[in-house]
Amino acid sequence: MTLTQSPVSPQTSTDSWSAPEGWPAMSIKQIEAMLCAPGQPFEMETIEVEGVATRCWKNAPPSLAALAQIARMHGEKTFLVYEDERVTYDAWFRATATLAQHLMAAGIAKGDRVALAMRNLPEWPVAFFAIVSIGAIAVPLNAWWTGAELAYGLADSGARLLIADAERLDRIAPHLDELSALDMMLVSRSHGALPAAAKSLESVIGAPPAYADLAAAELPAIQIAPDDAATIFYTSGTTGHPKGALGSHRNMTTNILTTAYAGVRSSLRRGEAPPAPEPAVMLTVIPLFHVTACSAGMTGVMFSGSTLVFMHKWDATKALEIIERERVTATGGVPTIAWQLIEHPDRDKYDLSSLKSISYGGAPSAPELVRKIREVFGALPGNGWGMTETMATVTSHTAEDYLNRPDSCGPAVPVSDLKIMDADGQTELPVGQVGELWARGPQIVKGYWNKPEATAATFVDGWVRTGDLARLDEEGFCYIVDRAKDMIIRGGENIYSSEVENVLYDHPAVTDAALIGLPHRTLGEEPAAVVHLAPGSHATEAELQAWVRERLAAFKVPVRIVFCEQTLPRNANGKILKKDLASLFS
């Protein structure tokens, strides 16, 4: 059955931005032809990956170990900032190489799984690169998981060694008897007694402020091919057990040039020569166990010699203080973060002039947010689409292109392809029609760890079936309409939640919104909404229903709207936990 296109809601947020005369100076295809030509920095080559001919960045580092060596060359530049701790690239490399040597001495070999469970700390990039640089497979576990969930990830991956902070160890400790494969543990920032199989991470590499005092060390000489396994990132797990997405070194390093390409493309679109590369200061507030932060964020930072700033936990006031103190140039992660900075009552008390970009992914965003970022901060907005199975970025959407198409997630990056498929999984749909989004490219993971049936159902001849409903326009810009499993069908009529949510977002009082389906005896489902209002704003259920009714077909109007005092609950990837909202209507 072909999924027909839903009428597009009016994009009121574009009223305040008009394309300047002469924009765009070049088309997307013209820029790609120029930047990706032979001999250019973004040159592409076709390589067989998992038996499939795949376009790849020719100049991407061949492995994460190679990236570590490149990062090492940044020397005394500041790499990591966490509260009053600062770590240079040289100090980070000393700690990474020392830990890598320790792991090998402990018997960790190529292909062994080593789990990493901690909040964003300076130890995280040290542990991650120590693991992958010896050919072992890093398993970043969700630091928000319960002890039972962490134990599931450890057991499912068969991790032999765990590197954790004390808080995560406390959660895991009651489950240690269940983990027969786990031989060793290294624990950071613990001040109490440790289990018999554990030792402090500080006993191996010291505390972050002392990394610079470590003796110079080298990474072990291990042969690593680009398509060797490097990571197991677990999917969101909003339903059932999460699945481990097995990623390669090539998957991870692809994002380095993908991110750089987006910035150059924006300059050429406005007819400007690309600026000379400048190190950035990135306030990273989403967890590194998520591919957006680790793959799309950290790898590019390391390649360019930029700085990562961590927070103990997200706090909008502290974020404003950090932006001012560290002269942060880029931040973001998920739309909620941007909204909280925009709405903060004391925002004007801080010097935020260093901010050049606020980008996010992992969750749908309101078109209104795009305009607000430019209006409030003078910064360029950025967005993109990806998923755990794509190691983050497949589409990139920045600057004027994003202001011009605020409801899109951008076109596919040059090394990737998108197509829209019918529900039969066989028929490709034409431009403008809504169907399931399929993606391919060098960032698509190898499959699911130890789940051959799920792998076969999701990965087809180099393509990943995303489960997202989307459409493409004539220039290849992608518009995510909904998750297929979240689409509401009311009496046979399809309701795409993002369409209704965007209309709610356009109301001046609404800053967070989610649409879910409520069971109905005869219609099957009816739409209902949960909204969060901006501080000091007011709106009633009837007012918002009338707002939607004026802009969309009557069958799309939420039959009920409830108000939430806080922003809506999200998982670590920034996706609203819609399954947690149904109880609000009982």
Average pLDDT over residues 136-142: 96
Average pLDDT over residues 223-241: 84
Q: In this model, does residue 10 exceed pLDDT 50?
A: no
Per residue, the 3-state secondary structure of 291-328, as one string, reads: HHHHHHHHHHHHHHCCEEEECCCCCHHHHHHHHHHHCC
CA atoms of 525 and 522, how far apart (whole Å) = 8
**pLDDT class of 483 with cuts at 50, 70, 90:** confident
pLDDT attached to residue 339: 84
pLDDT attached to residue 510: 94
Average pLDDT over residues 404-423: 95
Q: Please give the share of the chain, as a percent, with pLDDT higher than 70.
A: 95
Residue bearing the bigger pLDDT, 4 or 393 = 393
**Which H or E run contains 258?**
helix 249-269
Residues of the chain with CATH 3.40.50.12780: 12-58+247-483
**Tokens 């997200």 correspond to what residue?**
314
pLDDT attached to residue 260: 95
CA atoms of 514 and 188, how far apart (whole Å) = 38
In this structure, how many other beta carbons lie within 10 angstroms of the beta carbon of residue 474?
A: 7
**pLDDT class of 496 with cuts at 50, 70, 90:** confident
Q: Would you say 231 and 153 are in contact if contact means Cβ atoms under 8 Å apart?
A: no
Quick one: 279 exposed, middle or buried, by C-beta within 10 A (0-12, 13-18, 19+)?
middle
Q: What is the pLDDT of residues 319-331, one digit of tens each?
A: 999 999 999 999 9
Spatial CA neighbour of 247 closest among 183, 169, 282, 299: 299
Q: In this model, does residue 8 exceed pLDDT 80?
A: no
Q: Please give the share of the chain, as a percent, with pLDDT higher than 90.
A: 78
CA atoms within 13 A on the CB side of 6: 26
Per the structure block, which two tokens stand in for 224? 């690593």
pLDDT attached to residue 284: 96
**pLDDT class of 1 with cuts at 50, 70, 90:** very low
pLDDT attached to residue 86: 98
Most trustworthy range by pLDDT among 95-104, 355-364, 518-527: 95-104
Angle (deg, nearest 10), helices 64-72 and 89-105: 140
**pLDDT class of 580 with cuts at 50, 70, 90:** confident
Q: In this model, does residue 164 exceed pLDDT 50?
A: yes
Q: What CATH number is given for 64-224 in this structure?
A: 3.40.50.980
**pLDDT class of 366 with cuts at 50, 70, 90:** confident
CA atoms of 237 and 253, how far apart (whole Å) = 25
| Average pLDDT score over the chain | 92
Q: What share of the chain is helix, strand, coil (3-state, %, to 5)?
A: 35, 25, 40
pLDDT attached to residue 137: 98
**pLDDT class of 11 with cuts at 50, 70, 90:** very low
Question: What single-letter DSSP state applies at residue 561?
Answer: E
pTM of the predicted structure, to 2 decimals = 0.86
Residues of the chain with CATH 3.40.50.980: 64-224
Tell me which of 214-223, 478-487, 551-560 is least confident: 478-487
pLDDT attached to residue 9: 31
Most trustworthy range by pLDDT among 162-176, 233-247, 498-512: 162-176
Q: In this model, does residue 104 exceed pLDDT 50?
A: yes
Q: In this model, does residue 572 exceed pLDDT 90?
A: no
**pLDDT class of 333 with cuts at 50, 70, 90:** confident
Q: What CATH number is given for 12-58+247-483 in this structure?
A: 3.40.50.12780
**pLDDT class of 362 with cuts at 50, 70, 90:** low
Q: In this model, does residue 2 exceed pLDDT 50?
A: no
Tell me which of 4-13, 87-96, 106-115, 267-276 is least confident: 4-13
pLDDT attached to residue 457: 95
**pLDDT class of 429 with cuts at 50, 70, 90:** very high
Question: What single-letter DSSP state applies at residue 53?
Answer: E
pLDDT attached to residue 17: 82
pLDDT attached to residue 364: 57
pLDDT attached to residue 340: 87
Residue-wise DSSP of 403-437: HHSTT--EEBPTT-EEEEE-TTSS-BPPTT--EEE
Q: In this model, does residue 139 exceed pLDDT 60?
A: yes
**pLDDT class of 523 with cuts at 50, 70, 90:** confident
Residues of the chain with CATH 3.30.300.30: 489-585
Residue bearing the bigger pLDDT, 569 or 203 = 203
Residue bearing the bigger pLDDT, 124 or 240 = 124
Q: Would you say 370 and 386 are in contact if contact means Cβ atoms under 8 Å apart?
A: no
pLDDT attached to residue 380: 92
Q: What CATH number is given for 489-585 in this structure?
A: 3.30.300.30
Average pLDDT over residues 143-160: 93
Q: Would you say 291 and 333 are in contact if contact means Cβ atoms under 8 Å apart?
A: no
**pLDDT class of 295 with cuts at 50, 70, 90:** very high
